[in-house]
Amino acid sequence: MKKAISFLLAGVMAASLTACSGSVKETAPAKQEDTKAAEQTSESKGSGEKVEISFLVTKPEIVPQFEETFKRYTESHPNVTITAIPLSGQTIYEKLTSLYASGNAPTITMVGGPEFTSFKDNFLDITDTDFAKKVYSWAQDKTKSDGKVLAVPTTAEGIGIMYNKKVIEAATGKEFDPTSIKSRKDFAQLLEEISKTEYAPVQITNKDWLLGSHLTSVLYGAVSKNYDERQAVIEACRKGEYNFADSQVFNNWMDTFDLLMKYNKYAKSPLANAYEDDQLTMASDEVAFWPIGNYIYPNIVDINPDAQVGLMPYPMGDDEAAVGNKEIVLSYSMFAIDAKQSKPEQQAAAIDFFNWLVTSKDGQDSYVNTLMFVPIFEGFEVQPTNPVAKQIVSYMEQGNTLERMSDYFPAGVMNQFGATMQQYLDGKITRADVASQFKDKWVEFSKK
């Protein structure tokens, strides 16, 4: 009996071992493929060979829109079929880990900054492709590794404070222009004025991703206008050398947060409001300001097509010249092509798809009007028409953007920052505690 079991186990082990070695052999040659090989085959695509590629769509809310875009592409390129892989509730990191581990890596992947760092060794060098050259130069730093372009931005997303024009105008009786708020002083005055009316001046969503990643990006983005100086701050944070308590930027950021907390609609029980409720109150003209990003705009107009909302910066100082007073955080995830497990013809098809999407009229139309994306590419003939997207384009054109700094956070620390800010929001800890927790968590999570 025992012998029988051990014999069986040995057999199973051996079988699994050979299965593994088999798959390694299969993928090995693919590793040596580079763009050149891929591009060579792209020239011969006229032969009409069937190519199937997969596309990991990490924005669950627009999977149907992506599928529509794929269909449109296939109409003009009948030999290529693109299948969307939805995230199905997992995080990007989990999904990619499992897909790569099982040898089913998607040909095209959408990744955020942290996943880009983790998976960049698997991505194809696309430096010499047409579509990658169209990316605005200021947006390229993040898509590069060792001087090679490995990804392109998907869509521009702004993070700041969303305002409801109707509410503000009803409360103040004056026309509202977001550029009239030049500093925190102006903002405080307006909030005070609104608080005397029936309208709620501010609502704060208590989600950890908002507090710990989106809003902290304002903080680290405003430390300097210079890329290298910002990186130096991140490096200092990692080593525990950045002194938050004495940092002017940190204190300014917290001052604004205090201001928002003071006028928070849910000040009594600040952790109770659900994200879904916040969308409803904003859309139904009950609240004037809401720190959030434009990604929520489609939901707002879905609830109330007449909503007049826009995005303005998160004020970073009483001094008008303070960095952040006229800048919104500009965030974008990225498209990357797999280099390790996809065949050269799949990579060529993926490159061709992006050339179509970014440079052809049909593609641009799908990009802007079907996917509702805001291009970070030069020379787009089709421009977004929705008001918030237009605002973001104008922030980009004027260079009034802050970098999305949470992309450089060590994995997992954003949830810790979020937890810290939730405690602060709940009145459980002081500003000094926030400063020391930020400092400690940076070091703790950088070490791992």
Partner 1 sequence: MYKEKSNLKSFQVFATFGLIPLLVFGIVVLIPFFSGLFLSLTNWNGSLDGKIEFIGIGNYISAVRDPAFWGSLGKTFYYVFFVMILTNTSAFLFGLLVTSGMKGQNFYRAGYFTPNLIGGVILGYIWQFIFSRVFVYFGTKTGIPFFEISWLTQPHAALWALIIVGVWQNAGYMMLIYIAGFVGIDKSLIEAARMDGASPLQMLQKIKIPMMVPAFTITLFLTLRKAFMVYDVNLSLTKGGPYNTTELISMHVYNEAFLNQNMGPGQAKAFLLFLLVAVIAVAQVAVLKKKEVDAI
What residues make contact with partner 1 under the rule CB under 8 A?
1, 4-5, 8-9, 12-13, 16, 91, 93-94, 97, 100-101, 118-119, 121-122, 208, 268-269, 271-272, 274, 340, 411-412, 415-416, 418-420, 422-423, 426, 445, 448
Question: Strand 80-86 vs strand 108-111: parallel, antiparallel, or unpaired?
Answer: unpaired
Using the minimum distance from each CB to partner 1, give the nearer residue, 96 or 181.
96
Write down the least CB distance from residue 237 to partner 1, Å: 17
Using the minimum distance from each CB to partner 1, give the nearer residue, 325 or 341.
341
**Distance (Å, rounded) from C-alpha 74 to C-alpha 66?**
12
User: What 3-state class would DSSP assign to 210?
Assistant: helix
Using the minimum distance from each CB to partner 1, give the nearer residue, 49 or 433.
433
Residue showing tokens 């998907």: 154
Write down the least CB distance from residue 89 to partner 1, Å: 10
Residue 410 DSSP class: P
Instruction: Report the alpha-carbon angle 117-53-153, nearest 5.
Output: 40
Using the minimum distance from each CB to partner 1, give the nearer residue, 16 or 179.
16
315: nearest Cα among 432, 161, 200: 161
Name the strand (E) or helix (H) holding 304.
none
Write down the least CB distance from residue 1 to partner 1, Å: 7
Torsion of CA 255, 260, 266, 269, to 10 degrees: -10
User: What 3-state class would DSSP assign to 151?
Assistant: strand
Write down the least CB distance from residue 303 to partner 1, Å: 19
CA dihedral over 118, 121, 124, 126, signed as positive or negative: positive
Write down the least CB distance from residue 210 to partner 1, Å: 13
Using the minimum distance from each CB to partner 1, give the nearer residue, 272 or 321.
272
Using the minimum distance from each CB to partner 1, give the nearer residue, 42 or 122.
122
Q: What is the largest CA-CA distance in the chain?
A: 88
Write down the least CB distance from residue 83 to partner 1, Å: 22
